[in-house]
Amino acid sequence: MDEGINKRKTEHIRLCLEDHVEGVDKSTGLEGISFIHNALPEINFADINLRSHFLDKPIKAPFLVSSMTGGSELAAQINQNLAKAAEEKGWAVALGSTRALLESDAHQESFLIRKHAPSVPLIANLGAVQLNYGYGAEACRRIVELTGADSIVLHFNPLQEAVQDEGDLNFENLLPKIEKVCSALDVPVGAKEVGFGIDGTIAKKLYNAGISYIDVAGAGGTSWSQVEKLRSNDPLKKAAAEAFNNWGIPTKDCIVSVRSALEDVPVPVVSSGGMKTGVDAAKALTIGADVIGFARKLLQAATESDEAVMQTMEQIELELKMTMFGIGAKTMDDLKNTKRVSIMGKSLLED
């Protein structure tokens, strides 16, 4: 099992770094949002403040290093670099699936990054489907204890599992099991997709089951059906996966749908899935996101050093600040409430 986990996790990283793993003709939908330039912003660029909160902790910017990897030698170095950079820049950071942490003694160090990120929000991660394969509240509690995490997020990936050669396909009757986990744990439990999106209907069911925050993880970035197609040895699955190369709900549509369904409850919405720039982040924040998750954007730098990751983070932060300067928004609240935005050609300034 050790060798199998290591091989799969390493293959995932290599494919995301070296191959075309984005959906075909699929975007985040954020290109339909544009900002209305403010020639008289009436603010000092130096006063722009990106500070926010997530999981009852302050963060220096509304950003999350999204769940990517763990359980291999290569993953250990990547997660260490990500954790060090996140701590320095004040970003939240999430682990890849921690199932391997419980199933294998090998490469446990790849998940034990709290020592590198002692103060920022840290999120552990487990596939929701594993609740049908012998995992439950006690396993989740053990993962939180081992990692020192502030939260655990359950990821939902039915299409990935359907294409993956080793996929777990029993997604039946998960909601009551999720409710038991949420009730039993002392830390917040989140929910995320892996790049095909969560809509408002599903988000409301998850919230009613006790989920504390929703990471929409919409389409427009990495497609895990594409990743699994590339590593599959099953010619039938490889051929079938081609029919799903543009599957998923665009990230923009996910944010709007989830925020609308949960408009009366203070549920943080994380926007991940194809996020590449600080301008993307600004767009997502104006339509209802609270935290923006970046994954593959940081991956190449994370194979190099924590300094390289920080340089990429600094660029994203600068892009967000420049966007805010361009519309005269000094704080996150100013950005979220701005009317200097046009959505699908409809200017909020006209309202």
Q: Is residue 115 part of an annotated ligand binding site? A: no
Q: Is residue 22 part of an annotated ligand binding site? A: no
Pairs from 46-51 (Cβ < 8 Å, separation ≥ 24) = 47/330, 48/321, 48/324, 48/325, 48/329, 48/330, 48/331, 49/330, 49/331, 49/332, 50/317, 50/320, 50/321, 50/332, 51/332
**C-alpha–C-alpha distance, residues 215 and 254, integer Å:** 10
**C-alpha–C-alpha distance, residues 93 and 63, integer Å:** 9
Contact 310, 89 (CB under 8 A): yes
Q: Is residue 275 part of an annotated ligand binding site? A: yes
Q: Is residue 8 part of an annotated ligand binding site? A: yes
Q: Is residue 23 part of an annotated ligand binding site? A: no
| 20 alpha-carbon distance from chain centroid | 20
Q: Is residue 347 part of an annotated ligand binding site? A: no
CA distances from 338 to 328, 331, 334 (A): 9, 11, 6
Residue 80: name the closest of 303, 338, 330, 350 by CA. Answer: 303
Q: Is residue 84 part of an annotated ligand binding site? A: no
SS percent in the chain: helix, strand, coil, step 5? 50, 15, 40
**C-alpha–C-alpha distance, residues 127 and 309, integer Å:** 26
280 φ, ψ to 5°? -55, -45
CA distances from 251 to 90, 133, 275 (A): 24, 30, 9
Q: Is residue 232 part of an annotated ligand binding site? A: no
Q: Is residue 69 part of an annotated ligand binding site? A: yes
Q: Is residue 164 part of an annotated ligand binding site? A: no
Beta strands of 170-259 (E only): which ranges? Answer: 189-193, 213-215
Q: Is residue 209 part of an annotated ligand binding site? A: no
The residue count for the chain: 351
Quickly tell me which residue has 């910017």 as its tokens: 61
Q: Is residue 10 part of an annotated ligand binding site? A: no
Quickly tell me which residue has 């209907």 as its tokens: 201
Q: Is residue 161 part of an annotated ligand binding site? A: yes
Q: Is residue 274 part of an annotated ligand binding site? A: yes
Q: Is residue 68 part of an annotated ligand binding site? A: yes
Q: Is residue 231 part of an annotated ligand binding site? A: no
Q: Is residue 192 part of an annotated ligand binding site? A: yes
Residue 288: name the closest of 320, 256, 254, 266 by CA. Answer: 256
Q: Is residue 338 part of an annotated ligand binding site? A: no
Q: Is residue 162 part of an annotated ligand binding site? A: no
Which residues make up each annotated binding site for substrate? 8-9, 97-99, 160
Query: What are the binding residues for Mg(2+)?
Result: 161
Residue stretches of the annotated binding site: 8-9, 66-69, 97-99, 125, 160-161, 192, 222, 274-276, 295-296
Binding residues for FMN, as ranges, are 66-69, 97, 125, 192, 222, 274-276, 295-296
